[in-house]
Structure 1
Amino acid sequence: MSPNSKRSPRSDATRSMARLLSAARELIAESGPEVALDEIARRAGVGNATLYRHFPTRADLLVAVYGDEIAELCRSGTEPADSGPPLDALFTWLGKFVVHVATKRPLALAATEGPSDRRTPLFEEWHTSITAAADVLVERARPALRPDITTTDVLALATGVALAADADGEHAHRLVGLLRTGLVSGSAGVDQSSWSSGE
């Protein structure tokens, strides 16, 4: 009996789902959320029946893809605290958040098209996850921040930056650098040159 013959149906299903999500992320990045589902199945190397078994509707697939994007963004904020000063860690993550909002907004809206009773809980779930990740970073950086700054303030300002930024990442990084000068206490940890250059 070959090793492959011992694979359980559940493990095969897990691998198929992972391939579908990976293919969907790639194609959505290339062509947008309206990419044909048949094309996603082809790139994943599975049949259409397998795709629809895992994701009965386009919205189900888009929700799964965007949920993965949110999870990845939140995980990136939980990297080891000793990877750098807490203030730098916060603004590095905010740079990723700004790029996420600026580039993934069409996917988020496409994933939640339809009745509000579907959209509202999804957005609340994603917002809760992002807020929790940001809160950890804000609290670690708290000694260097203005004392009146809250996580809600930080995310609201960063979202505004994302919506105001040009499509290129350089402009977004410059705006995040300017945001940093307004959030820190005094001149603590401000190196405008590094943030305006997108480093």
Structure 2
Amino acid sequence: MAEDDPQQDEHGAGRRLRADARRNEDAVLEAARVVFAEHGVDAPVREIALRAGVGMGTLYRRFPTRADLVAAVFRREVDACAAEAQALAAAHPPLAALVRWLRRYSGFIGTKRGLSAALHSGDPAFDTLPDYFRERFTPALAGLLETAVAARQIRAGVDPYDLLRAIGNLSVATESGGADHTGRMIDLIVDGLRFGADG
């Protein structure tokens, strides 16, 4: 019988450790997303660890400070929202995909309770987040706008970042009015985009 290969065992154990670490990280980020949405970014870290099913040591090894955790949750949520633009474009007509994504984006902004204050706190962990936000969302929205323009469903010449800022400001300003109010305002903005379209 062949002897066990120690190197193979070591590599297998390493892969298992990396997979376990990834699962723990995903669990922490998902728990933090839920807790931050419910209680804001100042919610107790212990509650996040409890919901994630990990010890405090595991959480702090990956995210030494609250700011590190908040930044990681933000990036994860930005990635998910940006990626949805392509999925919606594949599943819906151009204008419908655009409207659905704008609603998704407004929901993202509206649920980031306390994040604006954190971003302006001066903590270096947040320094790269505004650029990350813009670099991920601007091309996602640009693709939806270009497709809708090509289909003659909206007018050309709309700056994606201007629209991101408009929806973002709207979502923050009308947070107390709820998603229904924000949705109606998005419909008004989309009506403006349709004005002057060739179709």
Q: In the aligned structure 1, how far is the partner of 2:168 from the partner of 2:119?
A: 19
Which residue identity does 1:84 align to in structure 2? H
Q: 1:51 deviation in Å?
A: 0.8
Structure 2 matches for 1:36-185, cutoff 5 A? Answer: 36-79=44-87, 81-104=89-112, 106-107=114-115, 109-110=117-118, 113-115=121-123, 118-142=125-149, 143-167=152-176, 168-185=178-195
Which residue identity does 1:170 align to in structure 2? D
- What secondary structure, in the 3-state scheme, does the structure 1 residue paired with 2:87 have? coil
Give yes or no for contact 1:70–1:130 (8 Å, CA) kept in 2: yes
Q: In the aligned structure 2, how far is the partner of 1:111 from the partner of 1:21?
A: 18
Q: 1:187 deviation in Å?
A: 7.5
TM (norm. structure 1) is 0.82
Which residue identity does 1:174 align to in structure 2? R
Q: Which moved more, 1:78-87 or 1:136-145?
A: 78-87
TM (norm. structure 2) is 0.82
Question: Which of structures 1 and 2 has the bigger CA Rg?
Answer: 2
Give yes or no for contact 2:88–2:100 (8 Å, CA) kept in 1: no
Q: 1:93 deviation in Å?
A: 0.6
Taking only aligned residues, the RMSD between alpha carbons, in angstroms, comes to: 2.6
Q: 1:159 deviation in Å?
A: 2.3
Which residue identity does 1:55 align to in structure 2? F
Q: In the aligned structure 2, how far is the partner of 1:188 from the partner of 1:173?
A: 25
Q: In the aligned structure 1, how far is the partner of 2:115 from the partner of 2:40?
A: 8
Q: 1:144 deviation in Å?
A: 1.9
Q: Which moved more, 1:92-101 or 1:52-61?
A: 92-101
Give yes or no for contact 2:40–2:113 (8 Å, CA) kept in 1: no
Structure 2 residues not aligned, in runs of 5+: 1-12
**Could you say if the C-alpha distance between residues 30 and 105 of structure 1 is closer, same or farther in structure 2, counting changes exceeding 3 Å?**
closer
- What secondary structure, in the 3-state scheme, does the structure 2 residue paired with 1:144 have? coil
How many residues were matched structurally?
Answer: 186
1:192 — aligned with what? none
Q: In the aligned structure 2, how far is the partner of 1:61 from the partner of 1:87?
A: 36
**Could you say if the C-alpha distance between residues 68 and 111 of structure 1 is closer, same or farther in structure 2, counting changes exceeding 3 Å?**
farther
Identity %: 35
Structure 1 residues not aligned, in runs of 5+: 190-199
Q: Which moved more, 1:176-185 or 1:6-15?
A: 6-15
- What secondary structure, in the 3-state scheme, does the structure 2 residue paired with 1:145 have? coil
- What secondary structure, in the 3-state scheme, does the structure 2 residue paired with 1:101 have? helix
**Could you say if the C-alpha distance between residues 39 and 164 of structure 1 is closer, same or farther in structure 2, counting changes exceeding 3 Å?**
closer
Q: 1:87 deviation in Å?
A: 1.0
